[in-house]
Amino acid sequence: MSTESLGDGSRSLGVLAATAMGAYLLVIAGATTALTDATAACSTWPACNGGYPFTGAAVTIAWTHRLLAALVGVGVLASAVVGWRTGSTRIRTALGIPAVLYPVQIGIGAVVATTGAPPMVSALHLLIGTAIFGGLLLGLAWSLERRFPTRERDEPLTKSPPTEATPESATPRPTGGLRATLGAYYSLMKPRLMWLLCLVAAAAMTLAAGPNLPVVTIVATLLGGVLAIGASGTFNHVLERDVDQRMKRTADRPLATEIVPVSHALAFGALLGLASLGTFYVFVNALAALLGLTAIVFYSVIYTLVLKPNTVQNTVIGGAAGALPALIGWAAATGEIGLPALVLAGVIFCWTPAHFYNLALAYKDDYARGGFPMMPVVRGERLTRKHIVYYLGATLIAASLLAAVDTLGWLFAATSVVFGAIFLREVMALHREQTREAAMRSFHASNAYLGALLFAIIVDALVL
């Protein structure tokens, strides 16, 4: 992580970030089967089976874990010193706790290595590792907040009265034509969301069934999902057509410009919804159809009508709808809902605010103009940036839990660490730069993190 360009105090932030990600690497590696196997191959401590040479992959993994643990230990000490120097009680506490827990963790690590890892001791090792990571991340979030206060006005805005807006692109009202009409119906389905939501369902199916799933189930689940997103996206356009006219980002949408009549859009949405549920019911199973219906109703009605205009927690609660494809994928493969599916849904749930709050920052004025109580609008930019760090941390912890409840391996762990570090780097840049461009980079890093993680799940479960 580049610390040179961060300016005064940036080296300290770099130390905190690198130590937090190092601690995370230890946690997620500890949760994977690769390290469990390695522990069995290396039953003496602190050196593995008398020291050199590194005989075989398992012993190499065990050695790497121990050497990395020593390195992170130095980082934890350095972080405690950094925290102490700030003079802030909460930063001192957040960064002091990892320093106190670290020797305990080393002792438990020795027990895990030498006694064949009884489940309770291994679980405690992971739990304390997570607490160390959590302390470091909180210390980082609070240090970032202190180091980079919001440059512009940051008083909470009240729900501002909507005002007229000119479309950002000043799009002339389309005059029709088959191409334009088809394009309008296509955009009603919110196609840009589809790849990632489909990847969620695909990852869940793969986790549940590995390569042993009939092609028809895979195709029907993804098709049913695409149609469900299309239906709920269309209903969302219908319900928000007035407010879309007032927001620059959305003023050129097909219902805001009236290129598509409301009645046609409603019929299109209903058709997509029926096609989705029919596909799920006929080619997959009744549970998948029920979950698909829940997702459509949640996004179109509960999120759009109830949550989005009325509560600052709209994104957090709304994340439950985005997490449903994880349950749909698992249900498609097994006919039930399993623990790994719930944990994967938890990953998506935690990730959603870390994903959307970047856009909420980038389009804060637009959301205020539309009268939506988005986090930066009602609670300010500083708090929103800090919450992005919190939810990023929660996402990483949820991903390590997924490694613990399922048999995921090194590719999954490495992807979460590498793309998590890239995401964290962009979130730190957002704190520093506080521009729309930085918020958009952080938004794209959020999508890259989840996309890569889901892809790694699929490859891990199918190939490795």
Point out which residues bind ligand FPP (CB under 6 A). Answer: 193, 197, 225, 228-229, 232, 236, 240, 250, 295-296, 299, 303, 308, 318, 321-322, 324-325
Q: Which two tokens stand for residue 147?
A: 């180091």
Give the interface segment with ligand HEM, choosing from 106-114, 146-154, 350-358, 402-410 (CB under 6 A): 350-358
229 binds, among ligand HEM, ligand FPP, none (CB under 5 to 8 A by kind): ligand FPP
- The sign one gets for the Cα dihedral 320, 247, 234, 306 is positive
Nearer to ligand HEM, 355 or 364 (CB): 355
Question: What is the distance between the alpha carbons of residues 440 and 364, in angstroms, rounded to a whole number?
Answer: 13
Question: What is the distance between the alpha carbons of residues 282 and 291, in angstroms, rounded to a whole number?
Answer: 14
200 binds, among ligand HEM, ligand FPP, none (CB under 5 to 8 A by kind): ligand HEM
Question: In the complex, what is the shortest distance from the CB of residue 350 to ligand FPP, in angstroms, rounded to a whole number?
Answer: 14
Question: In the complex, what is the shortest distance from the CB of residue 217 to ligand HEM, in angstroms, rounded to a whole number?
Answer: 21
Interface with ligand HEM (CB under 6 A), residue from 348, 428, 439, 452:
348
Q: How many CB atoms lie within 10 A of CB 290?
A: 15
Query: Any contact of residue 346 with ligand HEM (CB under 6 A)?
Result: no
Pair 291, 324: CB distance under 8 Å: yes
What are the two backbone dihedrals, phi and then psi, of residue 218, each rounded to the nearest 5 degrees?
-60, -50
Question: What is the distance between the alpha carbons of residues 215 and 209, in angstroms, rounded to a whole number?
Answer: 12
447 binds, among ligand HEM, ligand FPP, none (CB under 5 to 8 A by kind): ligand HEM
Nearer to ligand FPP, 134 or 353 (CB): 353
Give the interface segment with ligand HEM, choosing from 161-169, 210-218, 313-321, 389-397 (CB under 6 A): 313-321
Site string for ligand HEM, 14-33 (x = CB under 6 A): --------------------
Question: In the complex, what is the shortest distance from the CB of residue 227 to ligand FPP, in angstroms, rounded to a whole number?
Answer: 9
Q: Which two tokens stand for residue 233?
A: 């996206």
What are the two backbone dihedrals, phi and then psi, of residue 11, each rounded to the nearest 5 degrees?
-60, -40
Q: How many CB atoms lie within 10 A of CB 154?
A: 15
225 binds, among ligand FPP, ligand HEM, none (CB under 5 to 8 A by kind): ligand FPP
The radius of gyration computed from the CA coordinates of the chain, to the nearest angstrom, equals 24
Query: Any contact of residue 288 with ligand HEM (CB under 6 A)?
Result: no
Question: In the complex, what is the shortest distance from the CB of residue 392 to ligand HEM, in angstroms, rounded to a whole number?
Answer: 15
CA-based max dimension of the chain:
79
Question: What is the distance between the alpha carbons of residues 102 and 262, in angstroms, rounded to a whole number?
Answer: 61
Question: In the complex, what is the shortest distance from the CB of residue 428 to ligand HEM, in angstroms, rounded to a whole number?
Answer: 21
Interface with ligand HEM (CB under 6 A), residue from 280, 356, 412, 423:
356
> What residues from 424 to 463 belong to the interface with ligand HEM (CB under 6 A)?
447
- The sign one gets for the Cα dihedral 126, 128, 131, 132 is negative
- Nearest to residue 163, comparing CAs of 243, 252, 250, 246? 246
Nearer to ligand HEM, 200 or 204 (CB): 200
Helical H segments across 335-380, by residue range: 339-362, 364-370, 375-379
Query: Any contact of residue 367 with ligand HEM (CB under 6 A)?
Result: no
Helical H segments across 87-214, by residue range: 89-114, 119-147, 178-188, 194-209
Query: Any contact of residue 11 with ligand HEM (CB under 6 A)?
Result: no
Nearer to ligand HEM, 102 or 357 (CB): 357
Query: Any contact of residue 305 with ligand HEM (CB under 6 A)?
Result: no
User: Which CA distances in Å does 329 have to 210, 240, 287, 297, 415?
Assistant: 12, 29, 10, 18, 22
> What residues from 182 to 241 belong to the interface with ligand HEM (CB under 6 A)?
190, 192-193, 196-197, 200
Q: Which two tokens stand for residue 85?
A: 């120097």
Summarize as ranges the residues that interact with ligand HEM (CB under 6 A). 190, 192-193, 196-197, 200, 315, 318-319, 322, 348, 352, 355-356, 359, 447
